[in-house]
Structure 1
Amino acid sequence: MTAADVLLGRALVEEATKKSGIVWVRGSGSARALWHVWHDGAAVLVGDGPGEQPLPTGLEPGGAAEVTVRSKDKGGRIVAWTATVAVLAPHSEEWESAVGALKGKRLNAPDAERLTERWAAGCRVLRLTPGASRTDLPKTSSAAVPLPTTATTRRPVPAALPRLLLKRRRERN
């Protein structure tokens, strides 16, 4: 791989991640879709606290994470990159800078005026610094087993319903 390829890969990671509203992050378990902000050359995200997104397992300081970026308009995979995980200490200079960027992008916060205090008290702010990237598609399926849920699907339409609807339409005419 040439130096130009490395620079183009970094530029692709940065632009794709900046423009995407969410990224898929995999620690040691299954991947999760997470909202983020691109700040100072890394993806910054907040979670694992009250009222915030749950982070995937295995995102520990110094560890690695697999980040997959999707296209904002088509939803397809653009690039995947390996990240080094750093947990920012609350109220440190780096944390304050990251939280300032995150706060501007946080939608529908129930307590916008106390947001940073809540994040400092009960959430983790992570910085995912890009490493190696790749744009080739995987050879196997990336489909994951859906997470357990209590949601159900609609029951089948009763067989007599179409006749009843047609009968009402005829009576109106």
Structure 2
Amino acid sequence: MTDPTETGGPVPLVDEAGKKAAVAWVSVDGAPARALWCVPADGSLHVVTGTGEQSAAGLAAGVPATVTLRGDHGGRIVSWPAEVTLIEPADPDWESVAAQVAAKRLNAPGSPADLVRRWADECQLYRLTPAGPPVAAGASLPDGSLAAPPRPSTVTRPTRRPFRLHRVRRR
């Protein structure tokens, strides 16, 4: 992961956290962050969205995004601005990047080659590349949990009565 605006070289914390990332919290255009499955490759994080894959509302090429990565302990370690680019199936690096991402996809229906073909037809493959120095790292990370109430959802689950194997008789 490189920082093109500051030194032109890698930012060690962003680079190291990115290499170990499997899930990134991505905030698109200031909206609440969403946890997205990602694959680090070639100094960037790659995310697949679309039919049969995760939903990343608002994620599109050129839209400002902020990526937050967490460590093994579950706490935030770094947040950085990301440049979002769409990798099209016609791009020269589509085959290599899509194959790397497909190989890491857990519980995928079909083979990695089938997955890459489906992604080319129905999904979008995005590259999130650092676009500046970290916006929060180390001492600049907030002290609080930043916990928020759950977002409204149309998904509900009725509360069911507990299952009883037999009837209890009272005397």
Pairwise same-fold verdict (TM > 0.5): yes
CA distance in structure 1 between the aligned counterparts of 2:88 and 2:147, rounded to whole angstroms: 34
The number of residues matched between the two structures is 153
User: Structure 2 stretches of 5 or more lacking a match?
Assistant: 1-5, 163-167
Q: Structure 1's 9 and 41: CA in aligned 2 closer, same or farther, altered over 3 A?
A: closer
Q: For 2:133, what is the secondary structure of its paired residue? A: strand
1:56 — aligned with what?
57
For 1:122-133, list aligned pairs within 5 A: 122-130=122-130, 131-133=132-134
| 1:103-131 Cα distance to aligned partner (Å, 9 max, x none) | 11100001224101110011110011112
CA distance in structure 2 between the aligned counterparts of 1:154 and 1:8, rounded to whole angstroms: 54
Alpha-carbon offset, residue 93 of structure 1: 1.4
1:32 counterpart letter in structure 2? R
CA distance in structure 2 between the aligned counterparts of 1:61 and 1:123, rounded to whole angstroms: 14
CA distance in structure 2 between the aligned counterparts of 1:95 and 1:153, rounded to whole angstroms: 44
CA distance in structure 2 between the aligned counterparts of 1:31 and 1:56, rounded to whole angstroms: 10
Report the RMSD for the aligned CA atoms in angstroms.
Answer: 2.9
CA distance in structure 2 between the aligned counterparts of 1:41 and 1:121, rounded to whole angstroms: 26
150, 153, 160: which one aligns with 2:155 = 150
2:104 — aligned with what?
105
Identity %: 42
User: Structure 1 stretches of 5 or more lacking a match?
Assistant: 158-163, 168-173
Q: For 2:74, what is the secondary structure of its paired residue? A: coil
Q: For 1:102, what is the secondary structure of its paired residue? A: helix
2:45 counterpart letter in structure 1? A
1:116 counterpart letter in structure 2? V
Q: Structure 1's 94 and 144: CA in aligned 2 closer, same or farther, altered over 3 A?
A: farther
Q: TM-score, normalised by structure 2?
A: 0.76
Q: TM-score, normalised by structure 1?
A: 0.75
Higher-Rg member (1/2)? 1
